[in-house]
Amino acid sequence: MNRAWGADGGGPGSSTAGARPDEVRRHNRAALLRRLHVDGPCTRATLATELGLNRSTIKAVVDGLAESGVVTEAVPAQRTGAGRPSLMVLPSPEAAVVLAVDVRVEQVAMSVVGIGGQVLGRHSWNLHRRTRTPGEVITHVAESAQLLTEELGVTPAGAGISVPGVVRRDDGWVHEAPNLGWRDVALGARLGAVLRLPVRVGNDAELGALAEHVRGVARGATDLVYVSADFGVGGGVISEGRPLRGARGYVGEIGHLPIRPGGRPCYCGSRGCWETEVGEAALRRALGLPEGGPRGVVVAELRALEAALAAGARTNPLGEFAEWLATGLVTVVNLLAPQLVVLGDLFTALPPCVVDDVRTMVHERSLVSRAVGGTRIETSPLGRDAKLVGAAELAFEPVLGAV
């Protein structure tokens, strides 16, 4: 969280010495709003303690936000101690809303999200070969966004878009999204023009990591890796509390770690990539399912396997799959030393005993995991929604500072 600045402009760490009073006010307002957005309603007293500000400064900021309808105040239901209770400060979800869009290979999901992360409305539609082109997707997003926001009676302040591909963060340029068949698409600029909104575009796994960090299983963790399997396999990294981006934001193509010399050819130009051993196609092979077809069949097969294993079935067709998953994760853990690895998307459907085997193998084979006290490996509680939640948070970043 952003630390607030002291009322005298020389707040914690005195990094603000010399800041103008209006800058200090704006910064404190954004810090307070971010606190309410991420952690929910709380009392003025708690805000004062957490943000390191005195009560009169909190009062001034909250009064200003209440006047513009961004927060409301209420007497807390449960009073503690004697004396006058500190008022609860609640964000008003509709005071600032964003549009979140998750572009997947088979589907586009869209939601309108208010301050505090409340989903005010959502919509989704399926994609097939003809409707998957950038032009078709952009047109459909614009039309659906208009219908959804009109129905809700809200005007978004920004939009966040998740794309399974290599995305330039500065301007939302999609270099390659192989599973969508997209190459060199000025998605940020084109969507910004039709939506008439500031648009930020992010790689899907990077946004999955952001979502888990802000609202999922990784809240409070400073170092985490989110690894997800959809058609492809991608990763998002939070290191020391911040997204690890690399040059122009291209970190995270861990699906293309070469792990099997002489393995299957991959569309990236290499062979034996991790994705070829643990992506959806590999999972279908392991389960004896035909190539392609609906995702639901894979999930149903995994559920049946889970039930069979729980009932004592001796043979597990995912033994080798688990080996490859663990092999890649050992490299990821040794390289990035996360406290936590979050397995997202299709990985969340793996039977728990398979995830347990992967945990054991990673712990036994990664000296870094052991050194950090055992890297936790968890499945994503946000599941299919993680990237949509991350897209909303991406859009909120500049919005909270401008409300």
Rounded to an integer, what distance in angstroms lies between the CA atom of residue 196 and that of residue 174?
19
What is the separation of C-alpha 384 from the centre of its chain, rounded to a whole number of angstroms? Answer: 11
Verify binding: residue 273, Zn ion, rule CB under 5 A.
Answer: yes
Which of 284/384 has CB closer to Zn ion? Answer: 284
Element (H, E) at 395: helix 386-400
Segment interacting with Zn ion (CB under 5 A) among 74-82, 115-123, 142-150, 272-280: 272-280
Residue 271 neighbours by CB under 8 Å, 6+ apart: 258, 260, 261, 262, 263, 264, 265
Task: Please state, in angstroms and as integers, the Cα–Cα distance from residue 8 to each residue in 4, 28, 54, 57, 209, following that order.
Answer: 12, 12, 11, 10, 36
Which of 198/263 has CB closer to Zn ion? Answer: 263
Give the tokens for residue 17. 């010495």
Segment interacting with Zn ion (CB under 5 A) among 72-80, 250-258, 347-355, 371-379: 250-258
Which of 132, 256, 295, 359 touches Zn ion (CB under 5 A)? 256
Nearest approach, Cβ of residue 255 and Zn ion (Å): 7
Give the tokens for residue 392. 């909303």
Segment interacting with Zn ion (CB under 5 A) among 59-67, 77-85, 265-273, 316-324: 265-273
Segment interacting with Zn ion (CB under 5 A) among 166-174, 264-272, 361-369, 376-384: 264-272
Kindly determine how many residues on this chain lie close enough to bind Zn ion according to the rule CB under 5 A: 5
Verify binding: residue 257, Zn ion, rule CB under 5 A.
Answer: no
Verify binding: residue 266, Zn ion, rule CB under 5 A.
Answer: yes
Rounded to an integer, what distance in angstroms lies between the CA atom of residue 293 and that of residue 259?
27
Verify binding: residue 282, Zn ion, rule CB under 5 A.
Answer: no
- Residues 350 and 359: beta-carbon distance below 8 Å: no
Which of 42, 90, 268, 361 touches Zn ion (CB under 5 A)? 268
Nearest approach, Cβ of residue 268 and Zn ion (Å): 3
Rounded to an integer, what distance in angstroms lies between the CA atom of residue 385 and that of residue 344?
10
Verify binding: residue 233, Zn ion, rule CB under 5 A.
Answer: no
Which residues form the interface with Zn ion (CB under 5 A)? 256, 266, 268, 270, 273
